[in-house]
Amino acid sequence: MQFLLAFTVAGPLIGAVAALLPAPPGLKGKSPDQAVLRHGVTVTGVVLVAALALALGFDHDQPSRMQATTDISWIPALDVRIHLGVDGISLPLLVLTALLTFLCALYSYFKPPAGPSPKGFVALLLVLESGTLATFAVLDLMLFFLAFETVLIPMYFLIARWGGEGRQPAAWKFILFTLLGSVVMLLGLLLVGLKADTFDMVALATDNGRGLSASLQVIAVLAIGIGLAVKTPMWPLHSWLPDAHTAAPTVGSVLLAGVLLKMGTYGFVRIVLPVAPEGMHVFAPYLAAFAVAGIVYGSLACLALARPGAKGDLKRLIAYSSVGHMGFVLLGIASMTPTGVNGALFANIAHGLITGLLFFLVGAIKDRYGTADLDTLAGATGAALYGRAPRLGGLLAFGAVASLGLPGLAGFWGEMLAMFGAFQPAEGLSRPAFLTYTAVACFGTLLTAAYLLVVVRRVCMGAKPAADSPPLADVQGYEFAAWTPLAALTVLAGLWPAVLLGLTDPAVQQLLAGGKP
């Protein structure tokens, strides 16, 4: 188990180095480009198998216990250690990251993004995977920060080199926002580690803030929270996200929404909640207020983009929808209750599955039509995907109803539990304030349903195309292979939520209790 976790984290990094080397003559296939793309599929596939083996070997009777741990001294002077481990909170995120990266590599093998040589693309994709997996597996504050930062550079280049129109400004905006947030976060992490005389996240969680004064906890939560909020992204620190999503290549958008946004909310659960509970109590009402503001703002922005004549970009609309969905995650965390935090973790996974699928679908529509502009897609009578490409239209409608939280699909449980947690927040938090936030969040679910149904009506429905209309390719074999796991897991998580909640709940209960079972 120790080897499996270490390999899962380090394997993609080794694969990235190998991708930059010349391919052996016997493995080139039709061309060196095809060889390096196949290398990406192979490495991410092996990492996914390792992550699944880790999940199968995980002791599901003790999900609150750190398992597959490695603890080696790295920088003795600062007591920084290479400390790895997984519990019921981090394991689902590890598997989700490995799955989405593999599906992106598989999709890119058949549909390489337009841009420079695939060699750099595959290497950056693997570095991105390694950094993301490390973020969810490390148990040292300094290693967490390093892994958190490792992800930024490959995503910057994926947007800047393989992105679409406006990619350079979008990439600069992404890197500047996230780096500035990270600088503030580093100050908070150093403050906690130096004052507590340890950077070990397990020891800090077990101490539960008892070794830190209330004022220091408030400062730490403010500093760390700003850095995490930028990555989440929380309104009003979200403005980098729509540009980055719109300009990014399809697989870049999938990974940005599917796993990178989860690093911020994971940091709130793994670090802020257990390490500085008093400081979190102070800021929880404000975090909840920003969360529900993001829910309403994101939904209203999507409605504005979806209306006829607005020239709204479908990728941009899905990006703004992420601001609203991550608002529900932050609301659950702000409630500081097991119900709310479990809902937030469930919504994290559901959002990764559903929004990853939606970005794949929007990328496919853009490839077929040459644009993601809603007015152009809808035309005079509607794009009529149901009539022209019924499988593609059906999948888009499925992704939309899953995203709006239809009961029986994954999107329902996380948002419902987050609102339940806010309805009865932790002791010491203002219940009238959180009741108000819950009511606003409920209104946000109605707005979410409104804009997603408008999108389905405009893109999928419409008059039957004329007989002489050019044919539109339906779902191809490689697309079916890349998208089916996401759709299947969306249904599975919706019908059987205990698969996830059985893992997260014991770990959350122990985390909120200060590491005590």
**Rounded Cα distance, 327 and 471, in Å:** 40
Contact 244, 170 (CB under 8 A): yes
The burial of 211, by beta-carbon neighbours within 10 Å (0-12 exposed, 13-18 middle, 19 or more buried), is given as middle
**Rounded Cα distance, 142 and 134, in Å:** 12
How many helices and strands in the chain, by DSSP H and E? 23, 2
Q: Is the pTM of this model over 0.75?
A: yes
Ramachandran sector of residue 389 (left: φ over 0; alpha: ψ -120 to 50; beta: rest): beta
Q: Which residues of 389-407 are buried (b: 16+ CB within 10 A; e: fewer)?
A: beebbebbbbbbbbbbbee
| DSSP E strand boundaries for 58-192 | 67-75, 80-86
The burial of 248, by beta-carbon neighbours within 10 Å (0-12 exposed, 13-18 middle, 19 or more buried), is given as buried
pLDDT tens by residue, the chain, 517 residues:
778 888 999 889 998 888 887 766 555 556 777 888 888 899 999 999 999 999 998 888 888 888 888 888 888 877 788 888 998 899 999 999 999 999 999 998 888 888 778 888 999 999 999 999 999 999 989 899 999 888 888 999 988 888 878 888 888 888 888 888 888 999 999 988 888 888 888 888 888 778 788 889 899 999 999 989 888 888 888 888 888 888 888 888 899 888 888 888 999 999 998 988 888 989 999 999 999 999 999 999 999 988 887 777 888 899 899 888 999 999 999 999 999 999 999 999 999 999 999 999 998 888 888 888 888 877 655 667 787 788 888 899 999 999 988 888 998 999 999 999 999 888 888 889 999 999 999 999 999 999 999 888 888 876 666 655 666 777 888 888 889 999 999 999 999 998 889 889 898 888 887 655 4
**Rounded Cα distance, 36 and 14, in Å:** 14
